Amino acid sequence: MRYAYYLMLGRMKEAIQKSRPFFLTVRSDFCIRVLDLLYTRGFISGYFLVNDYTIKVQMKNVNGRPFIRSIVLYSTPGRTVYYSFSGLQQHLCKSDTVAVMHKNGLCFFYEAQQLREMKCQSYGHGGVVLFGITY
């Protein structure tokens, strides 16, 4: 599961650096969950399944340049980074959009912060910090 996820983010970083319109990656359920999150929040143009093992991801471009400027991996294959909700507020850069995996699923940190302010305590927890996006 994690291998395909790290491979996907590595290929996405390469596509951003080389301004490619799309990239192919290995299919996994976790990759599809991350791509769903990126698509619904408008960071990628879309994705579709090429076959049982491959996903084609369409990158979003604005004026011929990639919409996402950079991706930073906080958790790597050899190091998983956990933060509490207050730790996320203290340690992470405010300009990044940071993806967090917690017990209720996968979301971006600013969404968890907004849900917590609305008194939805179940979303106000920390979790595994996956990656940050600068756009």
Check which CATH number belongs to the domain holding 55 and give it: 3.30.1370.30
* Domain count along the chain: 2
My answer on whether 48 and 86 are in the same domain is no
My answer on whether 124 and 82 are in the same domain is yes
Which of 66, 84, 118 terminates a domain? The answer is 66
Could you give the CA distance from residue 74 to residue 81 in angstroms, rounded to a whole number?
7
My answer on whether 25 and 9 are in the same domain is yes
Could you give the CA distance from residue 44 to residue 87 in angstroms, rounded to a whole number?
28
Contacts of 9 (CB under 8 A, 6+ apart): 71, 73, 131
pLDDT(15) > 60: yes
Residue 57's domain spans which residues? 2-66
Tokens at residue 127, please? 């979790």
Percentage of the chain surpassing pLDDT 90? Answer: 33
Helix (H) or strand (E) holding 45: strand 44-49
pLDDT(29) > 60: yes
User: For the whole model, what pTM was predicted?
Assistant: 0.83
